[in-house]
Structure 1
Amino acid sequence: MFINTLQISTKRVNSSLSKVRTLSVSDKRGIAGGHNKMTEHQRNYVINHINKFPRYKSHYCRAHRNEQEFLPVGTTLPLMYKLYNEETPKKDCVSFSSYRKIFLTEFNLRTKAPKKDTCNKCDTFQAKAQSTSSIEEKQLLKSEHDAHLLEAECARKQMEADLKEAFENNELETLTFDMEKTLPLPRLTTNIIFYKRQLWLYDCGIHSGKNNKAVCNLWIEGQAGRGAQEVGSCIKKYVKNNVPETVKRLILWSDSCGGQNRNIKIILMFKCVLEENPSLDSIQLKFLTSGHSFLPNDSDFGDIECALKRQQKLFSPEDYANVIKGCRKRNPIEVVFLEKNDFVGTGNIEKLITNRKKDVNETKINWLQIKEIKIQQDKPYSIFIINMHNAPDYSEINIKKRQGRPKNVDNHIIFLNNLEPLWPRGKPVAQAKLDDITSYLHLIPAADQPFYLHLTGDAILEEDIDGYNVAALDFELESGSD
């Protein structure tokens, strides 16, 4: 049966059995080394090639103190291997599997930027449910998960209701805002660009519920960063130029990014917006549930990114602006370029108020649990918060100093007139990035080169995949889920 199944001869079986009986069988596979065995020279060449690619850290991961680094967005293993193949003599090339093995074993690199779109709570519920065999515990986890999903759905429906009401009510405007992922400058197809750092172009998108119009506020990292004060500056400029005096209430919806949206800096910026626009009675800032925060801005960004896929070469912010303006025929997106004078900071104001960690009832405040923040024209020193959408009562935080009186007691002076230029001389970029830009300046048309020549570098600034220069962050890094 054995011989017929394998279709081999009796002589071959008898020969093998006799060798086994005499213990003369030995495994000689691999003794010759194999004709395609990777040499040390080939291995070192692959390592040197991978080291050519710039890498970044993520500010989201710094709290965990790991040493993982990230390759630029769009840099994948197949692309890296393709570039390796093009510049390596054919006789010295290793296979893709060998290249991939070296990448995984010798480097602590990721080919994709860390995502904050997944919901930590949903992932935790799923992991716990899979690891427990207790029916009671599974039922408890399911009920908690259902409550979390219900909360997310409630926030989403409330946002939709606010957008609809803004369209119908002349005294209400609802805005949603979000930061698009960083856009690289220049955008080239030349192979050398994959080994070099590029300049970041930032886009703060604002979408109006009153007219369903989208505005993209653009600036480069050589002008400002992308923290809370920059986001607040964009909204301040938008409200001044686009919100009519008939509007009495302003509602703002955003995701739950604590660094950009839920902190004292952006609230002080909105205090200034109230003073600058006396027709406004109040501003409400509401947050979607983390991991379930799909905003109208995401649709706008999706149209932009689809249009960018058809563009191979972009050399300036104006080139990106033309793509954004033409990415859709119906309801086109408006583009606004921000100058360094548009970015203002709250440093002086923070010295004149007290950023209390408890409300007026001495209850401790957790900013990451706040679902809505409200400020009013008639109560300049009060911040009203709730930790659940549609909650009946707000908690009040008093930010006025208790001891003595501020030098300037007029409310308009304390807030609006104490704004300071955030980056009066522009914001430098990391020196290593500036060196890389200089090295491929010859690939950029002469008409666009002055834009890059005006950049300044700083050797202290640390590179970050998310577009932040960590040494100059204007908010504390988050340590985990909210």
Structure 2
Amino acid sequence: MDDSLEKKYADHLNEKEYMRNEKQKDKDSEIPILCFDLENVLTCPKADIKSFFYKSKLNVYNMTGHLSISKKVYCAVWSEALHGRKGNDIASAVYKILDKVMQDNPEFTEIILWSDSCVPQNRNGLMSYGLSHLIQKHNNLSKITMKFSVPGHACIQEVDAIHSSIERSLNKVEYYSPSSLLRYLLKVNLHNPYTIIQMKQEDFIDFQSFLSQLNYNAVPFSKVVSLQFSRSFFELKYKDTFNPIEKFKSLNLHQGKLRKGHVTAETEQLIIPLELKRCDKAIPLASSKVEAIKSMYKWIPKMDRQYYESIFSRK
């Protein structure tokens, strides 16, 4: 093996061990941990009907979060009739879950997030802006630390286990629309029912429109393993290794974004929006998908047909 490749592989193994130690350290602490991940795409309608097999169906997305303190599960669910799974959509779902977590636990002053290392979905300015804004929204919250699994060695087993439970449960039932799917999600764990958040159009935030306010180009997102956000809206700290001897590096994100001097209380208020801009209306479903779902109507219960008619008629 080439020396450079051998060193790269050794560094990767070391980083994997550092990550596992970091996760264990977090679990041993009293700081609440929220692990989250997007489940594999679910489709509707789902039934043991031969004619359904080759038909195009409606995609449904489930962002799942697991809170260590309470073992509570949060599911933010939406369909492609609203939005897809781009960076804005993922950041909006995580923002919604965290907002609900803070409503349920207003005493939290700090929280740690763990996710996979996907750059387009998690390690980016969209997610970063959302987390920075969330701290401003909840007065008791002073710090959010987001940590990313080493590629190929995910350490969000809590969420993986939840997704496995959901899949086993859904394999036993038929559901014809997202509405009936949500009812089954509530029954996956009867002892500790999931908190189901049905995402609405107004829950999708256009984080992209705010990115020009801050200098996120200075953040090496493809290399970071951890990001840290505080009540200082313009400060972002990051680490590019879980090696415990390495300290967080600090960035001032307003540099180059203000014409004069340092940030003052007045200029800060001009940049931190009190209200976040919502995304535009969703793009209508492809006509071929609409026709495919309508061709299954004769097997779909009336209530579920009404759901589809309501999304097909949106302007």
**Superposition TM-score, scaled by structure 1 size:** 0.59
* Change beyond 3 A, Cα 1:435–1:411: farther
* Change beyond 3 A, Cα 1:306–1:267: same
* Change beyond 3 A, Cα 1:173–1:413: farther
- Is 1:186 matched up with 2:45? yes
Name the structure 1 match of 2:271.
414
Name the structure 1 match of 2:161.
299
Q: What do residues 405-425 of structure 1 show as CA deviations (whole Å, max 9, x unaligned)?
A: 69x9553552342521114x3
Q: What do residues 459-482 of structure 1 show as CA deviations (whole Å, max 9, x unaligned)?
A: xxxxxxxxxxxxxxxxxxxxxxxx
Name the structure 2 match of 1:394.
248
- Is 1:201 matched up with 2:56? no
8 Å CA contact 1:283, 1:375 repeated in 2: yes
- The aligned amino acid for 1:248 is T
Which stretch has the larger CA shift, 261-270 or 154-163? 154-163
Name the structure 1 match of 2:293.
437
Distance of 1:335 and 1:249 partners within structure 2: 23
TM-fit CA distance, 1:193: 1.7
Q: Which runs of 5+ in 2 are unaligned?
A: none
| Structure ID, larger Rg | 1
Name the structure 2 match of 1:22.
none
Name the structure 2 match of 1:428.
284
Alignment partner for residue 342 of structure 1, among 203, 215, 218? 203
* Change beyond 3 A, Cα 1:347–1:245: same
* Change beyond 3 A, Cα 1:352–1:305: same
Distance of 1:308 and 1:386 partners within structure 2: 39
Name the structure 2 match of 1:20.
none
* Change beyond 3 A, Cα 1:235–1:410: farther
Name the structure 2 match of 1:275.
136
- The aligned amino acid for 2:268 is N
Name the structure 2 match of 1:247.
108
* Change beyond 3 A, Cα 1:402–1:201: closer
8 Å CA contact 1:214, 1:333 repeated in 2: yes
Name the structure 2 match of 1:383.
236
1:275 aligns to what SS in structure 2? helix
- The aligned amino acid for 1:370 is V
8 Å CA contact 2:88, 2:208 repeated in 1: no
Q: Which runs of 5+ in 1 are unaligned?
A: 1-136, 358-364, 459-482
Distance of 1:200 and 1:162 partners within structure 2: 35
* Change beyond 3 A, Cα 1:447–1:330: closer
Q: How does 1:107-118 map to 2 (within 5 A)?
A: none
Distance of 1:403 and 1:310 partners within structure 2: 57
Runs of 4+ in structure 1 over 4 Å off: 138-144
TM-fit CA distance, 1:234: 2.5
- The aligned amino acid for 2:96 is K
8 Å CA contact 2:144, 2:229 repeated in 1: yes
TM-fit CA distance, 1:177: 0.7
Name the structure 2 match of 1:310.
172
- The aligned amino acid for 1:220 is S
Identity %: 22
TM-fit CA distance, 1:318: 3.1
TM-fit CA distance, 1:429: 2.1
Alignment partner for residue 216 of structure 1, among 52, 58, 75? 75
Distance of 1:144 and 1:353 partners within structure 2: 33
* Change beyond 3 A, Cα 1:454–1:329: closer
8 Å CA contact 2:175, 2:181 repeated in 1: yes
Name the structure 2 match of 1:151.
15
- Is 1:236 matched up with 2:95? yes
Distance of 1:309 and 1:348 partners within structure 2: 40
Higher RCO (CA-CA < 8 Å; seq separation 6+): 2
Name the structure 2 match of 1:360.
none
Name the structure 1 match of 2:302.
446
Name the structure 2 match of 1:33.
none
- The aligned amino acid for 1:224 is H
TM-fit CA distance, 1:258: 0.6
TM-fit CA distance, 1:142: 5.6
8 Å CA contact 1:233, 1:343 repeated in 2: yes
Distance of 2:189 and 2:151 partners within structure 1: 29
8 Å CA contact 1:428, 1:457 repeated in 2: no
* Change beyond 3 A, Cα 1:323–1:391: farther
8 Å CA contact 2:177, 2:308 repeated in 1: no
* Change beyond 3 A, Cα 1:391–1:283: farther
Give aligned pairs, total.
306
